[in-house]
Amino acid sequence: MKLLPRPSRALAALALALGCAAAQAAPDCDRCQDLPRLYREMLEQEFLRAKFQTWISQAYYPLSIDAMQTQATSALTAAMQGNLYGVLAPPASDAGTAGAAAPSFGTVISGGSCQLVEYVPRPGQSPTTRPVTEQQIRQKLCKPLAEFTIEHENTHIKACAAAYKAGDKSVESVEWFVQSDAKAYDAGVRVLRDAIAALARKCQWAGSTNVRKPDNSMVVPTPEEIVTLTKNVKAKGSAMRRATQ
């Protein structure tokens, strides 16, 4: 997910308050039972992509970057606490179920540094930032989450560098930020879809008549199919445990 924090004028990846901590605790997310978590991340990213694309299609932007941040964050938080996940909603007992969108990684745009950063929470204050490398992101997050985050931020970094090199004076305008974010969300979603489709096939997903959507991104199982795949794996695991007892 994405957010723009005030202090550094950075485009930043958003995550559930405890989402990244969970990823750090379980660095591998290549099991069939990880499909719901990856799918929820995809739904969040697609929600934000749609939010930014709506502003672009309407040519009706928030009045400021701060307002853009507030509106996007509030909309995502409401969706997360509503019915965004549908049948894939995490159990009420899971930590962070009713969490809110919060920053995790980002790209500093102001001044042309185009630097990749990590957000560090501060109790009762806005988060601060510190430089981070792609390698460090890969150490913190499981592979699919790390790769989509890096793809997202690299989209910002390339756009930032190109804009400053060209002397584009709109680089810190609301319109520029919104358009850059829409492209970055799209890039990240495609990486997530690739990972989900590949893992689902390993988990005995029969696939679809179409491998790719009209926008050339990978077709993935429906949420209902994800539930079925996960249940089937659990059932097979239980049967194997009974057979060995």
The percentage of residues in the chain with a pLDDT greater than 90, rounded to a whole number, is 64
Between CA 214 and CA 211 the distance in angstroms is 10
Please give the pLDDT value at position 12: 54
The more confident residue out of 19 and 102 is 102
**How confident is the model over 1-17, as pLDDT tens digits?**
333 333 334 555 444 33
Between CA 135 and CA 110 the distance in angstroms is 24
Can you tell me which residue has the tokens 């358009």? 179
**How confident is the model over 203-228, as pLDDT tens digits?**
999 888 889 999 989 999 999 999 99
Asked if pLDDT for residue 96 goes beyond 70, the answer is: no
**How confident is the model over 124-166, as pLDDT tens digits?**
888 899 999 999 999 999 999 999 999 999 999 999 999 999 9
Query: Highest-confidence range of 2-16, 180-194, 227-241, by mean pLDDT?
Result: 180-194
Please give the pLDDT value at position 92: 73
**Cβ–Cβ contacts within 10 Å for residue 129, how many?**
21
**How confident is the model over 75-95, as pLDDT tens digits?**
999 999 999 999 999 887 564
User: What's the mean per-residue pLDDT of the chain?
Assistant: 84
Please give the pLDDT value at position 15: 40
How does DSSP classify residue 127?
E
Query: Highest-confidence range of 58-67, 96-105, 185-194, by mean pLDDT?
Result: 185-194
Please state whether 142 falls in left (phi above 0), alpha (psi between -120 and 50) or beta. beta
Can you tell me which residue has the tokens 């249940």? 231
Between CA 96 and CA 65 the distance in angstroms is 27
Mean pLDDT, to the nearest integer, of 63-75?
91
Asked if pLDDT for residue 241 goes beyond 70, the answer is: no
